[in-house]
Amino acid sequence: MKRQIPNILTLLNLFSGCVACAMAFSGQFFFVFAWVVIAAVFDFFDGFAARMLGVSSPLGIQLDSLADVVSFGVAPATAVFVLLNYYLFDLGIVMGPWSLLPYFAFLLPMFAAYRLGKFNIDERQTTSFLGLPTPANGLFWVSFVYGMDHVVYDNRLLIVFTLVLIVAFSLLMVSELPMFSLKVKAMKVRGNERQLILILLMLIFVVLWGIAGIAWGIVSYVLLSLVARKKDKTFR
């Protein structure tokens, strides 16, 4: 039974992602966000439990990736799909070639699946990441959709902006950009500067913009990783 505890947590991650998909189709974006956050919690604890219990297995690795594709790929993409359909409906577009634009949202789970498959066989990503982690991608999109659902603006610009972000984040997931780990190595400032700066920025953004601020926090994570990469190249 002990060997199955991490797998049970992974399946709860998958369950949460499935519920998030259902919430997305009904346009309940707050609950999409909530269930993806719950999925992220299970995603953290399944690996933690496997290490603590010493029961890591190839099955657990593959199961984790399958769950992550749903929770941080399909569920956020479904929310984006529904949001884009709302934009088009407000513009009076329900048929024709422009009505196909929302389907571009499903580039996200495609690239998430590719990233996870690549991650499983890439031995370089033990202490840090190459490309944007799929949970970060998922959290960006569910907080973005929640925020954009409350924005009153020119829907044409919002559609273009969202499509550009879809392409950008899809490419980020499979890029070779070094992304620092969010794990704090020790209870001290030295060596954890980037993590602490990110935590501070995330708190500021959430205070200012609520749930939508998390999306800005994920953008800050990408920018801090870019700055760190440039600094590392400068000192080589």
- pLDDT digit string (tens) for 202-216? 999 999 999 999 999
**pLDDT for position 189:** 61
Residue 146 · residue 80 · CB < 8 Å: no
What's the confidence (pLDDT) of residue 235? 35
- Burial status of residue 148 (CB atoms within 10 A of its CB: 0-12, 13-18, 19 or more): buried
Q: Please tell me the predicted confidence (pLDDT) of residue 47.
A: 77
Pick the CATH number of 2-180 from 1.10.3720.10, 2.60.40.10, 1.10.1740.10, 1.20.120.1760: 1.20.120.1760
Give me the residues of the chain with pLDDT under 70, please: 1, 123-128, 152-154, 182-192, 228-236
DSSP the chain: -GGGHHHHHHHHHHHHHHHHHHHHHTT-HHHHHHHHHHHHHHHHHHHHHHHHHT---HHHHHHHHHHHHIIIIIHHHHHHHHHHHHHHHHTT--SSGGGGGGGGGGHHHHHHHHHHHHHHH-TT-SSSEES--HHHHHHHHHHHHHHHTT--S-HHHHHHHHHHHHHHHHHHHTS--EE---S--SSSSTT-HHHHHHHHHHHHHHHHHGGGHHHHHHHHHHHHHHHHHHHHHHT-
How many whole angstroms separate alpha carbon 141 and alpha carbon 127? 25
What distances in angstroms separate CA 69 from CA 36, 77, 135, 205, one per listed residue?
12, 10, 9, 27
Tell me if the pTM is above 0.85.
Answer: yes
| Separation of alpha carbons 215 and 202, rounded Å | 9
CB atoms within 10 A of CB 207: 9
The pLDDT assigned to 236 comes to: 41
pLDDT at residue 205, rounded to an integer: 95
Q: What is the DSSP string of 86-134?
A: HHHHHTT--SSGGGGGGGGGGHHHHHHHHHHHHHHH-TT-SSSEES--H
Two tokens at 72? 């941080």
Whole-angstrom distance, CA of residue 33 vs CA of residue 228: 29
Q: Is the dihedral of CA 63, 69, 72, 74 positive or negative?
A: negative
